[in-house]
Amino acid sequence: MEAEKFKHTRRMILSRVLLVPFIIVMLVCGTLVYYFAANLSEHVSRELANTADGHRRLIEQFLKERAFDLELIADSRKIGAINHNDLVVILEQLQKGSPAFFDLGIFDEQGNHVAYVGPYNLQGKNYARTEWFKNAQNNKIYISDVFLGYRNIPHFVIVMRKKEGEHNWFLRATIDTLYFYDLVGNIRLGKTGEAYLVNKIGVLQTQRHSGGKPLEADSDFNFYKSDESAIMSFKSGSNTGSQYLYATGRLHEPEWLLVVRQDRNDAYAPLAYAVLFAVALIVGGGAIVMTMGFWLASSLAHRLSMAEVEKRQMGTQLIMAGKLAEVGEMSAGVAHEINNPLQIMKSEYSMIKDLLEDFESGKHPPDSKTFQLIEDSIEQMGIQIDRCKKITQGLLKFARKSETAMRVVDLRPFIQEVVGMIEHRAQLENIRVSTSFDDNLPELKTDPTQLQQALINLLNNALDALKGKEHGEVKIKISHESGYIIISVADNGCGIAPENLGKIFLPFFTTKPVGKGTGLGLSTSYGIIEDLGGQITVNSKLNEGTVFTVRLPLADAAQRVAGG
């Protein structure tokens, strides 16, 4: 029972005092972490997009500049008039500007490679049927996709078309592939970040770190999204199943797509760590708080239990002290009470001794008179011994826990029977006894014998109080109120002095002359009523009257063991 109550108190403290604020704090933390994570992940995406944006600009710029370099050359001289040596010089000049220029060639409008500077043997070859030549017809500057060409190595070209007189001339430069791959692919982006170019039909234009060579079809092409002009940032998958964070941007000259991507796990790694750390902190902190809380609640509950136990102990001690005081008072009473019979017995004993002395000394020989005296004394001693017996019995009765035999009692006939027992005496003493009952009195579960004893005692006391008074009346009222039966015995007799009101229930307290009252009646009645789970109270005014009120519970009065 103790353990249960302890657990209950602890649970109550935990839930009401600690749990609610804890939950709130957790919610706040959770929300913060969520927003933090969301913000951070957006940040990562934006970073990638920014990188893609910058990179695209870089590539576009590079291509634009190379094209412009060529344009400058083309515009500043007659292409048709350039001979081989001139071309060498021009290439050197171009390469000074940017090492990206690999070789240089001039083509006539039929597609013949009329002049060439570079490591391959391409001079004199005809390119009329090549893709790039066809496209170069339509645009002043044309940048091609990557192709193999005669050299059988993936490369792409920038072609400048110039009309001189009636004819078109074409100045073509090849961009150093390795240089270009490096330009495009060389970005540092975590462990898996890469950048590469694909054309609009999904053919890789540059090398891809995660696998894929130029001119190979990009197997992940279907996973891409892109926008006309803006950088598009999105999450998507790939052929291998890995999830990537993408940022794509279109180039227009040529129509390539720059793809910058990073493995999601890689991209979000720092975020994941941060969140994990935060969560670990929260969980750890939370665990500590919970432990502390639990410990605190336990400690508090324990203290409360202790306090409760102490309180109960003190209560018990108080009752004990009260009982000891009662016993003390009672002992004094008993001692005093027994003194009187002892006193008498002593004098009788002295009497007998004296008479026997007379017999022995011859002063007064035994005769019928003296024998009578001795007999009287002995008889008297017997009477006093009986008196002592009654006193100790009364004491024992007070101390003993009497067995109660509970029964359901119909109050009307019960009370009438009790009244019947004292009616005769009342009539003799010219005292009027009246009884009144409430309507619809419920039945009472009680011990009828003991209750009868208690009530008769009250009635007798009432009759005693009316001795010698005129118009003496004893009124008995039985009523019922909120779960209790109330029996009141009222008289208009001599009343009880205020200083005695506190003592009347004490054993051996009596205001009656010796032999007329043992002082045990009210204390016994008190004990009986307490045993039956009720209370007995008194109201009195000197020379006006007294009312004793007995309250008995209707509900099952648990058989309380009388405190002794």
Partner 1 sequence: MVAIRLLLVDDEERFLATTKILLERRGASTLTAISGPEALKILDDEDIDVVILDVKMPEMDGVEILRRMKKKYPSVEVILLTGHASVESAVEGLKLGAFDYVMKPCDIDDMWAKVKEAYANKGASAVKSRKPTGNIIDKRITQTEKR
CA distances from 451 to 27, 445, 507, 557 (A): 66, 11, 18, 14
343 binds partner 1 (CB under 8 A): yes
Residues 373-383 as b/e (b if ≥16 CB within 10 A, e otherwise) read bbeebeebbee
What is the rounded CA–CA span in Å between residue 272 and residue 49? 20
CA-atom Rg of the chain in angstroms: 61
Q: Of 339, 392, 430, 559, which lies in the binding site for partner 1, with binding defined by CB under 8 A?
A: 339
Q: Is 345 in the site for partner 1 (CB under 8 A)?
A: yes
Q: Which is nearer to partner 1, 355 or 547 (CB)?
A: 355
Residue 551 beta carbon to partner 1: minimum distance, rounded to whole angstroms:
32
CB of 524 to partner 1, least distance (A): 21
Q: Is 89 exposed, middle or buried (0-12, 13-18, 19+ CB in 10 A)?
A: exposed
Stretch that binds partner 1, among 279-287, 348-356, 416-424, 493-501 (CB under 8 A): 348-356
514 binds partner 1 (CB under 8 A): yes
Question: Of the two residues 105 and 333, which places its CB atom closer to partner 1 in the complex?
Answer: 333
CB of 335 to partner 1, least distance (A): 6
15 to each of 6, 236, 293, 296, 297, how far by Cα in Å?
14, 46, 10, 12, 9
Distance of closest approach, residue 368 Cβ to partner 1, in angstroms: 16
Handedness of CA 141, 144, 150, 153 (dihedral sign): positive
314 binds partner 1 per the rule CB under 8 A? no
Q: Cβ(476)–Cβ(419) under 8 Å?
A: yes
State the Cα–Cα distance between residues 12 and 296, nearest whole angstrom.
12
Phi/psi of residue 471, nearest 5 degrees: 55, 40
**Residue 392 sits in the site that holds partner 1 (CB under 8 A):** no
- Nearest approach in angstroms of CB 538 to partner 1 is 20
Binds partner 1 by CB under 8 A, chosen from 167, 512, 541, 560: 512
Please give the residues from 74 up to 113 whose contact with partner 1 meets the rule CB under 8 A.
none
- Taking the complex as a whole, the smallest distance from the CB of residue 328 to partner 1 amounts, in Å, to 11
User: Within 13 A of 510's CA, how many CA atoms are on the CB side?
Assistant: 20
Specify whether the CB–CB gap between 189 and 260 falls below 8 A. yes
Pair of tokens at residue 534: 């009720």
Any contact of residue 342 with partner 1 (CB under 8 A)?
yes
511 touches partner 1 by CB under 8 A? yes
How many of the chain's residues bind partner 1 (CB under 8 A)?
Answer: 24
Closest CA to 431 of 421, 423, 442, 440: 423
How many Å apart are CA 353 and CA 349, to the nearest integer?
A: 6
User: Does residue 340 bind partner 1 (CB under 8 A)?
Assistant: yes
3-state secondary structure 157-183: EEEEEEEECCEEEEEEEEECHHHHHHH
- The span from the first CA to the last CA of the chain, in angstroms, equals 26
| 378 touches partner 1 by CB under 8 A | no
Binding status of residue 348 toward partner 1 by CB under 8 A = yes
- Closer residue to partner 1 in complex, CB, 58/355: 355
Q: Which of 332, 356, 399, 421 binds partner 1 (CB under 8 A)?
A: 332
Answer yes or no whether residue 335 interacts with partner 1 by CB under 8 A: yes
The answer to whether residue 468 forms part of the interface with partner 1 (CB under 8 A) is no
Q: Shortest gap between Cβ of 343 and partner 1 (angstroms)?
A: 4
How near is the Cβ of 507 to partner 1 at its closest, in Å?
14
- Minimum distance between the CB of residue 463 and partner 1, rounded to whole angstroms? 19
Helix locations, 362-407, DSSP H: 368-399
What is the contact surface with partner 1 in residues (CB under 8 A)? Answer: 332-333, 335-336, 339-340, 342-348, 350-351, 354, 373, 377, 380, 383, 511-514
